[in-house]
C-alpha cells in the first residue's frame, strides 16, 4: 500500500526569568497533559525538544515528569531533539558558546536515556556557518522551515524530503517543516489534518511530511486547552494517526536509518516567513504587510511568496538599539570569561534568545526577561578586575566610556547627550537604566490590527489569526519617544510647560543637547563632558552644558555647570530614566532636594539628592506591544526629570546613591 511518512515534533520552551506562575500554568495546561495522553497511545511517536530553563524548572518542581519522559524514551515513543541549553539563537553567539550550549543539552538528553543526534534550530534562524559547529558535536540533522528551502529556489513539491547542506566540506541533513501542517495542527479538526496527509500519498516510499512546532500550541495559546484536551482533539489525533494505514509514523532517526537525503541544497540566511516581517524596521514592516496583502487581493501571493522576503533575525539588533547594546555587552564578556567556568555559565544564561527580539510574543518588551539577561551579564563581569576603558561596545562606529569599580559599571555615550546608558550594580545585579523607549510599531496601524476576531466554527483560531483593536484607554495614553532613554539627559524647557505635555511628547524641546554629541576627557574614575550648543527661541542663544561624572562605591555624583551667552528665562532639566518595573507609577510633580525610589521586586531602593531645590516631574514610560493575549501596555521604567530655573548660569550637583 502507498503511504506517506509522517514525523511529528514539538518544541517546549519557557525563557529564563519568566514568572514561576507562567511555568506552572504552561505545565498544567500543556506539557503535563500532552505527555500523559501520549503515554496512553504506545504506538504514537513524538520528537520533542525541551529547553534548558524549562527542564531545570521541571526538575526542581515536577520531578515525576522527568520519570515520565524517561519512560517514554525507553518505550521508543519519544526522540529527544536538542538545541542550545539556554535556548540561544545559535547564529547570534560565538562558536565556542554554541558548542558548550548544545553539549549541555545533549548531556541532559543522556540523563533521559537518549543520545541526541538532532537539533531544533531556535526560531529556525539558519546561517550556513552552523554546519561546522553542529558536525563537531556529532549532530546529524537539523529541523528548519520549508520557507528556507523555497528561498533557495526549491518548489513546494520538492519539500517532502530532507536534504544535505554543506559548508567547508562538512555536511548535515536538513529537514523541512511543512508550513501547511503548522497552520492545521492543532487548530483545525483532525479530519482536515488526515485529509491533507492522505493527499500527499504517492509512489515514492521516502516522501515525508514534517510537523514540528511550539508545544504551547497544545494548551497554552488562547482557546487551545479547551480545544485540544477538553474537546478531545489530541486523543482523536493520536488515535487516527496511529490507526491509519496510509500514514507511516516515524522519528527523525528512524527515517534516516531507512532513507538517504534526496540531494544537496544551500540554504540562505533565513527564518520562518513571519520573522521576515517582524525583524524589519517598523516603517518597512508596514510596507511589507501592505505588499503581501496586495498580492493576496490580486491572487498572486502563493505563486510569488517565495520572492517576498523581508528582514533576517539579526535585524533586531538594528531595530532595537537596547537589544543590540545588551547583545554586544554579552559578546564582550563572553570573550573575556571564556576560561572561567563559573563566570561563563552566567554568560550562557545571558544568551537566552527571548529578550533580544519581538514578534507576536512580548520578547524585548518584557522587562523581567531583559532584567534576567542583564543580571547574568553583570554577574559574569563581576569575576573580572574593574577597569575604565574607552571602546566601541555596540559597534556603531562611535566610542563609549565604561567606568567600573568594585560595585558599579557605568557606560556613557558621549555621542548621545553624554548620558549614562548602563548603570549596573554588581551587588544587586541590576542595570538601573534598563528602560525601553516608547516606539511606534507597524502593527499599531496595519488594517488587520483593527479587525475584530472572526468566529472560527471549524476549529480554534491561531494567535496569527486573532484580531486586535487597541483599547481607547490605551490610545489616550499612547505616546512615542523621539529619543532613547538614558540617565543624565539634558533638556531646555519653557517655564510654563506642563507635565502632561512633557510626558505625552507634546512639548517643545528648546535645546540641542539630549541626543547630540558631547566632547569628553576621561581622568581615572571621572569623566568630564561638555557641549557648546544652543537654545532655539526666536533666535539661537548659544549655551554650554558641562557635567563631570564620578563613579563611587555608592553610585555616582554628577557636577553640572550650565551657562547661556545672554539672559533667557528657561528651565534646565536633567532626566534620569530608571528601570522601575514592579511598582506601577502614576504621573506626579513635587519640589524637593532629595527623593527615594523604591522598587522592591526590581531595583530595590535608591536615593537621588541635589544641592539645589528642584521641581521634579515623574511619569511611567509605558510601551504598547502585541502579545499572544492581545495587547500589552507595559511600564518599562519611570522618568524622573529634575528642573532648575536658569537665566544666565547655574551650578548644581546630583548624587545617585544605592540603598
Give residue-wise pLDDT tens across range 34-77.
999 999 999 999 999 999 999 999 999 999 999 999 999 999 99
Q: Express each pLDDT in 559-599 by its tens digit.
A: 999 999 999 999 999 999 999 998 999 999 999 999 999 99
Q: Is the pLDDT of residue 451 over 60?
A: no
CA-to-CA distance for 277 and 360, rounded, in angstroms? 11
User: Of all residues in the chain, what percent carry a pLDDT higher than 70?
Assistant: 97
What are residue 119's DSSP bridge partners? 82, 142
pLDDT at res. 464: 54
Beta strands in 15-117 (DSSP E): 46-50, 78-80
pLDDT at res. 628: 75
Q: Is the pLDDT of residue 268 over 50?
A: yes
Q: Express each pLDDT in 352-407 by its tens digit.
A: 999 999 998 899 999 999 999 999 999 999 999 999 999 999 999 999 999 999 99
CA-to-CA distance for 386 and 383, rounded, in angstroms? 9
> Which of 242, 234, 194, 230 shows the shortest CA–CA distance to 217?
234
CA distances from 474 to 361, 477, 479, 624, 637 (A): 19, 5, 10, 8, 17
Judge contact between 105 and 49, C-beta under 8 A.
no
pLDDT at res. 180: 94
Q: Is the pLDDT of residue 453 over 70?
A: no
pLDDT at res. 462: 60
Ordered DSSP codes for 192-226: HHHHHHHTT--S-TT-EEEEEEEGGGTTTSTTHHI
Q: Is residue 452 very low, low, confident or very high in pLDDT (cuts 50, 70, 90)?
A: very low
Q: What mean pLDDT is predicted for residues 340-347?
A: 97
Choice among 87, 97, 123, 585 that is catalytic: 123
CA atoms within 13 A on the CB side of 548: 11
3-state helix, strand, coil in the chain (%, to 5): 35, 30, 35
Q: Is the pLDDT of residue 651 over 60?
A: yes
CA-to-CA distance for 243 and 446, rounded, in angstroms? 44
What stretch(es) of the chain map to CATH 2.70.98.10? 465-658
The yes-or-no answer on residue 214 being catalytic is: yes
What are residue 589's DSSP bridge partners? 617
Cβ burial, residue 458 (10 Å; 0-12/13-18/19+): exposed
Task: Output the average pLDDT for the chain.
Answer: 94
Q: Express each pLDDT in 542-555 by its tens digit.
A: 999 999 999 999 99
pLDDT at res. 461: 64
Q: Is the pLDDT of residue 457 over 60?
A: no
Tell me which of 255 and 456 has the higher pLDDT.
255
pLDDT at res. 465: 53
Tell whether the torsion through CA atoms of 569, 486, 473 and 358 is positive or negative.
Answer: positive
Q: Is residue 348 very low, low, confident or very high in pLDDT (cuts 50, 70, 90)?
A: very high
pLDDT at res. 302: 87
CA atoms within 13 A on the CB side of 400: 20
pLDDT at res. 379: 98
Phi, psi of 505, deg, nearest 5? 60, 40
CA-to-CA distance for 85 and 53, rounded, in angstroms? 8
pLDDT at res. 382: 97
pTM of the model: 0.95
pLDDT at res. 449: 41
Q: Is residue 466 very low, low, confident or very high in pLDDT (cuts 50, 70, 90)?
A: low
What stretch(es) of the chain map to CATH 3.20.110.20? 4-271
The CATH architecture that domain 4-271 belongs to is Alpha-Beta Barrel (3.20)
Choice among 214, 239, 240, 554 that is catalytic: 214
Q: Is the pLDDT of residue 612 over 70?
A: yes
pLDDT at res. 629: 73
> Which of 397, 403, 369, 408 shows the shortest CA–CA distance to 581?
369
Judge contact between 500 and 659, C-beta under 8 A.
no
Q: Express each pLDDT in 88-137 by its tens digit.
A: 999 999 999 999 999 999 999 999 999 999 999 999 999 999 999 999 99
Distance of CA 638 to the CA centre of its chain: 21
The CATH architecture that domain 465-658 belongs to is Distorted Sandwich (2.70)
Q: Express each pLDDT in 296-312 by its tens digit.
A: 999 999 888 889 999 99
Q: Is residue 455 very low, low, confident or very high in pLDDT (cuts 50, 70, 90)?
A: very low
Judge contact between 367 and 634, C-beta under 8 A.
yes
Amino acid at each position: 500500500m502507498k503511504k506517506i511518512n509522517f514525523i511529528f515534533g514539538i518544541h517546549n520552551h519557557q525563557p529564563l526569568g519568566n514568572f514561576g506562575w507562567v511555568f506552572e500554568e504552561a505545565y498544567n495546561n500543556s506539557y503535563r497533559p500532552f505527555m500523559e495522553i501520549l503515554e496512553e497511545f504506545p504506538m504514537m511517536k513524538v520528537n520533542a525538544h525541551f529547553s534548558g530553563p524549562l527542564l531545570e524548572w521541571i526538575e526542581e518542581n515536577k520531578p515525576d515528569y522527568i520519570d515520565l519522559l524517561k519512560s517514554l524514551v525507553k518505550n521508543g515513543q519519544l526522540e529527544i531533539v536538542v538545541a542550545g541549553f539556554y535556548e540561544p539563537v545559535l547564529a547570534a553567539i560565538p562558536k565556542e558558546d554554541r558548542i558548550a550550549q548544545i553539549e549541555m543539552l545533549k548531556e541532559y538528553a543522556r540523563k533521559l536515556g537518549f543520545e541526541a543526534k538532532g537539533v531544533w534550530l531556535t526560531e529556525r534562524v539558519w546561517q550556513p556557518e552552523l554546519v561546522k559547529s553542529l558536525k563537531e558535536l556529532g549532530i546529524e540533522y537539523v529541523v528548519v522551515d520549508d520557507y528556507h528551502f523555497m528561498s533557495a529556489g526549491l518548489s513546494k513539491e520538492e519539500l517532502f524530503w530532507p536534504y544535505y547542506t554543506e559548508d567547508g566540506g562538512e555536511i548535515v541533513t536538513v529537514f523541512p517543516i511543512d508550513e501547511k501542517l503548522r497552520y492545521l495542527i492543532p487548530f483545525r479538526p483532525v479530519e482536515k489534518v488526515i485529509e491533507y496527509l492522505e493527499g500527499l500519498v504517492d509512489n515514492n516510499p521516502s516522501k515525508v511530511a514534517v510537523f514540528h512546532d511550539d508545544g504551547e500550541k497544545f494548551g497554552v495559546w488562547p482557546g487551545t486547552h479547551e480545544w485540544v484536551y477538553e474537546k478531545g482533539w489530541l486523543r482523536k489525533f493520536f488515535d487516527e494517526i496511529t490507526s491509519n494505514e496510509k500514514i507511516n509514523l516515524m522519528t527523525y532517526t528512524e527515517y534516516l536509518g531507512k532513507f538517504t537525503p534526496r540531494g544537496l541544497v544551500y540554504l540562505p540566511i533565513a527564518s520562518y516567513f513571519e520573522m521576515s516581517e517582524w525583524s524589519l524596521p517598523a516603517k518597512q514592516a508596514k510596507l511589507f504587510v501592505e505588499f503581501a496583502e496586495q498580492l493576496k487581493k490580486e491572487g498572486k501571493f502563493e505563486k510569488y511568496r517565495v520572492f517576498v522576503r523581508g528582514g533576517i533575525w539579526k535585524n533586531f539588533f538594528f531595530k532595537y538599539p537596547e537589544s543590540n547594546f545588551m547583545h554586544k555587552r554579552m559578546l564582550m564578556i563572553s570573550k573575556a570569561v571564556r576560561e572561567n567556568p563559573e563566570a561563563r555559565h552566567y554568560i550562557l544564561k545571558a544568551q537566552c534568545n527571548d529578550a533580544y527580539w519581538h514578534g507576536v510574543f512580548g520578547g524585548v518588551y518584557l522587562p523581567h526577561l531583559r532584567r534576567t539577561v542583564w543580571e547574568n551579564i553583570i554577574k559574569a563581569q563581576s569575576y573580572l578586575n574593574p577597569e575604565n576603558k574607552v571602546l566601541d561596545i555596540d559597534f556603531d562606529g562611535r566610542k563609549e566610556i565604561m567606568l567600573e569599580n568594585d560595585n558599579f559599571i557605568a557606560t556613557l555615550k558621549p555621542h548621545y547627550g553624554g548620558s549614562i546608558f548602563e548603570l549596573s550594580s554588581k551587588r544587586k545585579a541590576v542595570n538601573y537604566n534598563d528602560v525601553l523607549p516608547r516606539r511606534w510599531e507597524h502593527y499599531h496601524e496595519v488594517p488587520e490590527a483593527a479587525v475584530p476576531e472572526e468566529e472560527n466554527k471549524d476549529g480554534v483560531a491561531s494567535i496569527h489569526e486573532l484580531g486586535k483593536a487597541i483599547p481607547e484607554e490605551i490610545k489616550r495614553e499612547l505616546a512615542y519617544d523621539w529619543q532613547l532613554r538614558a540617565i543624565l539627559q539634558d533638556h531646555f524647557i519653557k517655564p510654563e510647560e506642563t507635565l502632561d505635555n512633557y510626558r505625552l511628547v507634546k512639548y517643545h524641546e528648546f535645546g540641542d543637547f539630549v541626543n547630540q554629541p558631547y566632547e569628553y576627557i576621561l581622568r581615572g574614575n571621572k569623566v568630564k563632558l561638555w557641549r557648546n550648543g544652543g537654545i532655539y527661541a526666536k533666535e539661537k542663544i548659544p549655551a554650554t552644558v558641562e557635567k563631570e561624572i564620578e563613579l563611587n562605591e555608592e553610585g555616582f555624583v554628577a557636577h553640572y555647570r550650565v551657562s547661556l551667552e545672554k539672559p533667557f528665562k528657561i528651565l534646565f532639566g536633567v532626566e534620569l530614566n530608571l528601570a522601575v518595573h514592579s511598582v506601577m507609577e502614576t504621573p506626579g510633580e513635587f519640589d524637593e532636594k532629595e527623593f527615594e525610589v523604591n522598587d522592591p521586586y526590581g531595583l530595590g531602593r535608591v536615593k537621588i539628592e541635589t544641592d539645589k531645590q528642584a521641581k521634579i516631574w515623574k511619569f511611567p514610560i509605558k510601551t504598547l506591544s502585541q502579545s499572544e493575549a492581545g495587547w500589552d501596555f507595559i511600564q518599562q521604567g519611570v522618568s524622573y526629570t529634575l528642573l532648575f530655573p536658569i537665566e544666565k548660569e547655574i551650578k548644581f550637583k546630583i548624587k545617585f546613591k544605592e540603598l
